[in-house]
Amino acid sequence: MNYDALFSSVGQGLQQSAIRQMGTVAAQNPNLISLAPGYPDPGTFAWDAYLEITEALLTQRGRATLQYGPTQGHPPLVAACVDLLRERGIAATPQELLITTGSQQGLDLVARVLLDPGDVVLVELPSYTGAIAAFKNVQASLVGIPQQADGIDLEALDDTYRRLAHDGRRVKFLYLVPNFQNPTGLLVSLAKRRALLEWASRRDVLLVEDDPYGALYFEDTTTAAETRPIKADDTGQRVIYLTSFSKTLSPAFRTAIMVAPPALADRFEIGKQAADLCTSNFDQAIVLEAINRGVLARQLPLLRQHYQRNRTVMESALRASLGEAATWVTPRGGFFLWVSLPDAVDTHRMIARAVAQGVIYVAGGAFFVDGTGANTLRLSFSLATPEKIVEGVTRVAAAVKEELAALGAAALVGR
Amino acid sequence: MNYDALFSSVGQGLQQSAIRQMGTVAAQNPNLISLAPGYPDPGTFAWDAYLEITEALLTQRGRATLQYGPTQGHPPLVAACVDLLRERGIAATPQELLITTGSQQGLDLVARVLLDPGDVVLVELPSYTGAIAAFKNVQASLVGIPQQADGIDLEALDDTYRRLAHDGRRVKFLYLVPNFQNPTGLLVSLAKRRALLEWASRRDVLLVEDDPYGALYFEDTTTAAETRPIKADDTGQRVIYLTSFSKTLSPAFRTAIMVAPPALADRFEIGKQAADLCTSNFDQAIVLEAINRGVLARQLPLLRQHYQRNRTVMESALRASLGEAATWVTPRGGFFLWVSLPDAVDTHRMIARAVAQGVIYVAGGAFFVDGTGANTLRLSFSLATPEKIVEGVTRVAAAVKEELAALGAAALVGR
């Protein structure tokens, strides 16, 4: 049978995620140190609390606990999320909320409900590959906007918008990760957040604000106030906000929150019906109990310290082993440290050397929708132990030095 | 902001599920007896086993248990599913398997990876609304084929195919639920299964075989051999097979299996990456333990007896209260009893009477892609207690009698 002739244009265009590919490489080479995936450290999880919670849930045998649930979400969890969001400055009604099967599902719903083939989505350069994949799968046209140290370049943003509008192109939304972006770790300034909201209103586009890392700011440099979601000031109802429990409680609960203006939230809910009917009621009940019992609130300060320490370890190791050849911005939260190497280095090609050295990272090119970024790479400090982080960075440095030596003196011209 | 202008053509076309709508009605009226949703009875779940399993998992703290997992599925669960499928006659390699977030996700992936707008999908008349929604969401063209007591009408099937081919239309696949179909409860005969496979080969189309109920045959009339999946004889690799643990273990684990030829399975996996990254590792680990500890194997005979008894109760009540006005085929497995009423009755319009009587069902029209079936309804015997089933059927009968009285003598002409 000729299967190739059967695929839809979407099916033909599907592309393997660069991050997930690295996950496969890591699974096949258990001795590799992986600085690739943005996985939380299971050592930080509240295992004892989950043991108590599941014991209570499975002893009480609530009729909803192991049953199908409403597509919108387990109603008491929706109510609890309204309160959680209020603590982050977001005043949302339950009708504006949807519990999604991870934030990836939120991105997928945004794509399907809002994007026709050829519609333009503006994204940061670089941007999160999971979002890029979801938008590309519906054949949207992705246009990148450069970032500065405090976030997206507003002048370039409006220039791009005007150029596209002049060409008759329809910009549906700007997608951004303002808090400790995946992959760069950058934090968008509060001034820039306000400016983005004004811009969106002026140009009549939506903002899709993806915020999995906002609660994981590092207290040595950053306050909660600096992570205030754009959605918190969204008086014009033009922000779709996504956040998740995957980085704070566990990714295995596949429980995330989507907040959208009611007219959009209704459509996302109907889209979710056909996507997976509902998110697991059991997982949602665990998350609800973790909120109600104070587990989440107790976890957050511990997680901030934990990942801050890992970040410091990684940055020190990087400075010691690669300070001459690499540049980066110190992450003030989140899971990622973003490294730029001399222009001549191709980090995708360099992966073979890294694997030979016993380490993997994610080559930066996958995060750029404009084909640039070949000299960048993403290092994750979230999962490895401090010892492995130091050893892993040392191995990355060895691979870089080999690559530079192979390229010769010409390699440094681009710096 | 004008949100209407923002929707994609998919977003504009999204339609609320009739079944899920009834779920909302039921949630708002706790005194209603609901014979609407196809929910399993939580009283049948292996609560004690899940308590032991989650205790073991959360005490052992395996690194994978609460982590992100491979998109394809938790590898030991994939391996265990290969064995389970073999017991059902299906020889699949691990590469042909994908663990999905419920079978609804499998249907969604089939739709997105295989269907372009305008592609034709053949479905049974009536067919499962969740599949209809997934296929309609990608703007496929759904064409219905009548069913006989032993399954789809083969002559009508080929006539329809030829008519479509003559018109230059591309038929991508035939979707069917051979075991105790949702909504009719019908079982496709073994002879017809073989004929369907031959037909698919002759006409070079795929079969999408959805089998959530196959293990739930009723031993008073039916043997396991009669539920043999079409996929078991798929030497030509043209069947995509879906099955689920939602009806046997719990829908809250959101864990289902998709089996497809390798070239297709690869694409479905990449499609799933962007849909939700992975199904919950925690839920998959619970399902794996339920298989390994023999929980699933012990559950099945109990479930068969349980639902068979409910079916018998419902059928007796129906015969006693509505035997004059209704016709049905005795379900030999599954969750559903499908009722045909006199032609003049519109079961959608009749819902108001049913709610007034204190009962809900799903009006049959939603299951027909050709706009027929207004005089049919689906009763689910899976969730209500025997007492509630009897009372619920009595209330349905009262609603029907009211409706017939309102319609007058003319109502019986169509029988």
Considering only the C-alpha atoms of chain B, give the largest distance between any 2 of them, rounded to a whole number of Å: 69
Does B54 contact A54 at a Cβ distance shorter than 8 Å? yes
Average pLDDT over residues A192-208: 97
* Per-residue pLDDT at A232 exceeds 60: yes
* Per-residue pLDDT at B175 exceeds 60: yes
CA distance B375 to B412: 12
Does A246 contact B68 at a Cβ distance shorter than 8 Å? yes
DSSP A148-189: ETTEE-HHHHHHHHHHHHHTT--EEEEEE--SS-TTT-----
Predicted confidence at residue A85, as pLDDT, reads 98
The pLDDT-based confidence of B6 (bands split at 50, 70, 90) is: confident
Predicted confidence at residue A84, as pLDDT, reads 98
Does B254 contact A16 at a Cβ distance shorter than 8 Å? no
Contact between A265 and A73 (Cβ < 8 Å): no
Nearest residue to B402 (alpha-carbon basis) of B351, B343, B337, B328: B351
Contact between A257 and A242 (Cβ < 8 Å): yes
* Per-residue pLDDT at B187 exceeds 90: yes
The pLDDT-based confidence of A409 (bands split at 50, 70, 90) is: low
Contacts of B283 in chain A (CB under 8 A): 252, 280, 282-283
* Per-residue pLDDT at A163 exceeds 60: yes
Contacts of A30 in chain B (CB under 8 A): none
Average pLDDT over residues A151-157: 96
Does A11 contact B112 at a Cβ distance shorter than 8 Å? yes
- What distance lies between CA B214 and its chain's CA centroid? 11
Start-to-end Cα distance in chain A = 53
Contact between B256 and B106 (Cβ < 8 Å): yes
Question: Nearest C-alpha of chain A: how many angstroms from B18?
Answer: 11
Reported as a single tens digit per residue, the pLDDT across B373-394 is: 999 999 999 999 999 999 999 9
Q: Token digits for A297?
A: 């609130």
Give the rounded percent of residues in chain B with a pLDDT score beyond 90.
90
Predicted confidence at residue A1, as pLDDT, reads 80
What residues of chain B, 1 to 60, have a C-beta less than 8 Å from chain A? Answer: 1, 3-4, 6-11, 14-17, 20, 23-24, 27, 37, 39-40, 42, 45, 47, 50-51, 54-55, 58-59
For an interface test with B, which of A52, A101, A237 has the most B Cβ atoms less than 10 Å from its Cβ?
A: A101
Is A47-295 in CATH node 3.40.640.10? yes
Arithmetic mean of pLDDT over chain B: 95
- Torsions phi, psi of B375, nearest 5? -95, 15
CA distance B147 to A259: 43
Tokens 């592609």 sit on residue = B119
pTM of the predicted model as reported, rounded to 2 decimal places: 0.96
Contact between B69 and A24 (Cβ < 8 Å): no
Quote the Cα angle for B181-B187-B190, to 5°: 135
Predicted confidence at residue B17, as pLDDT, reads 74
Reported as a single tens digit per residue, the pLDDT across A363-404 is: 999 999 999 999 999 999 999 999 999 999 999 999 999 999
Contacts of A77 in chain B (CB under 8 A): none
What residues of chain A, 268 to 307, have a C-beta less than 8 Å from chain B? Answer: 270-271, 273-283
Tokens 């490895």 sit on residue = A384
Contacts of B384 in chain A (CB under 8 A): none
Give CA separation, A264 vs A94, A291, B34, B136, in Å. Answer: 13, 27, 30, 19
Interface residue B254 vs chain A (CB under 8 A): yes
Does A14 contact B250 at a Cβ distance shorter than 8 Å? no
Predicted confidence at residue A210, as pLDDT, reads 98
Does B250 contact A67 at a Cβ distance shorter than 8 Å? yes
Predicted confidence at residue B22, as pLDDT, reads 73
Report the amino acid identity of residue B167: D
Bridge-based pairing of strands A255-259 and B141-148 is unpaired
Question: Nearest C-alpha of chain B: how many angstroms from A12?
Answer: 8
Does A14 contact B267 at a Cβ distance shorter than 8 Å? yes
Contacts of A20 in chain B (CB under 8 A): 71, 273, 277
Reported as a single tens digit per residue, the pLDDT across B106-149 is: 999 999 999 999 999 999 999 999 999 999 999 999 999 999 99
Question: Nearest C-alpha of chain A: how many angstroms from B347?
Answer: 23
Does A42 contact B67 at a Cβ distance shorter than 8 Å? yes
The pLDDT-based confidence of A16 (bands split at 50, 70, 90) is: confident
* Per-residue pLDDT at B339 exceeds 50: yes
The pLDDT-based confidence of A44 (bands split at 50, 70, 90) is: very high
Give the rounded percent of residues in chain B with a pLDDT score beyond 70.
98
Contacts of B61 in chain A (CB under 8 A): 42, 47
Contacts of A236 in chain B (CB under 8 A): 1
Contacts of B40 in chain A (CB under 8 A): 67
Contact between A396 and A361 (Cβ < 8 Å): yes
- Torsions phi, psi of A172, nearest 5? -85, -45
Predicted confidence at residue A10, as pLDDT, reads 87
Reported as a single tens digit per residue, the pLDDT across A336-345 is: 999 999 999 9
* Per-residue pLDDT at B406 exceeds 70: yes
Reported as a single tens digit per residue, the pLDDT across A326-371 is: 999 999 999 999 999 999 999 999 999 999 999 999 999 999 999 9
CA distance B132 to B124: 10
Does B61 contact A42 at a Cβ distance shorter than 8 Å? yes
Does A10 contact B113 at a Cβ distance shorter than 8 Å? yes
Does B250 contact A71 at a Cβ distance shorter than 8 Å? no
Contacts of B119 in chain A (CB under 8 A): 8
Predicted confidence at residue A415, as pLDDT, reads 47
CA atoms within 13 A on the CB side of B80: 21
Nearest to B51 among A55, A108, A250 (CB): A55
Is B64-296 in CATH node 3.40.640.10? yes
- Torsions phi, psi of B376, nearest 5? -115, 160
CA distance A238 to A204: 8
Reported as a single tens digit per residue, the pLDDT across A78-127 is: 999 999 999 999 999 999 999 999 999 999 999 999 999 999 999 999 99
Average pLDDT over residues A69-78: 97
ipTM: 0.95
Identify the three-state secondary structure at position B253: helix
Q: Token digits for B2?
A: 């004008």
- What distance lies between CA A91 and its chain's CA centroid? 23
The pLDDT-based confidence of B168 (bands split at 50, 70, 90) is: very high
Predicted confidence at residue A26, as pLDDT, reads 74
Predicted confidence at residue A12, as pLDDT, reads 87
Interface residue A187 vs chain B (CB under 8 A): no
* Per-residue pLDDT at B410 exceeds 90: no
The pLDDT-based confidence of A411 (bands split at 50, 70, 90) is: low
The pLDDT-based confidence of B249 (bands split at 50, 70, 90) is: very high
Contact between B40 and B32 (Cβ < 8 Å): no
The domain limits of chain A are 3-45+298-412, 47-295
Nearest residue to A176 (alpha-carbon basis) of A155, A204, A141, A200: A200
Q: What is the CATH number of domain A3-45+298-412?
A: 3.90.1150.10
Interface residue A213 vs chain B (CB under 8 A): no
CA distance B241 to B232: 10
For residue B382, with 0-12 CB atoms within 10 Å meaning exposed, 13-18 middle and 19 or more buried, which class applies?
A: buried
Predicted confidence at residue B415, as pLDDT, reads 47
